[in-house]
A = this chain, B = another copy of it.
Amino acid sequence: VVRRPARHSGRVTTLSPTPRSTVRRGKERARTEREELYAVLDAVLVCHLAVVLDGRPLVLPTGFGRDGDTLYLHGSTGAASLRTATAAPVCVAVTELDGIVYARSVFHHSVNYRSAVVHGMAHPVTDDEQKLHGLRVLTEHLAPGSWDYCRPPDRRELAATTVLALDLAEASVKIRGGPPVDDDEDVADDTRWAGVLPLARTWGTPEPCPQLGPHHTAPPPHLTTRTHP
Contacts and interface: CB of A to CB of B under 8 A. Distances in A.
B59 A92 contact: yes
A11 interface: no
A201 B200 contact: yes
Copies per assembly: 2
Contact of A212 (B78, B93, B195): B195
Contact of A59 (B46, B48, B149, B180): B48
A31 interface: no
A102 B143 contact: yes
Interface residues of A, number: 94
Interface in A97-117: 97, 99-100, 102-107, 109, 111, 113, 115, 117
Interface string A186-213: 1100101111111111111111111111
Nearest to A119: B56
A194 B209 contact: yes
A51 interface: yes
B207 A179 contact: yes
A219 B192 contact: no
Contacts of A5: none
A171 to B, nearest CB: 13
Contacts of A142: 100, 109, 111
A228 B52 CA distance: 34
A50 B59 contact: yes
Given A25-B78, A197-B206, 18 more contacts: A20-B56, A20-B58, A25-B75, A45-B100, A48-B95, A50-B91, A56-B89, A59-B91, A61-B93, A106-B153, A149-B192, A190-B212, A195-B219, A196-B207, A196-B209, A197-B219, A198-B203, A198-B207
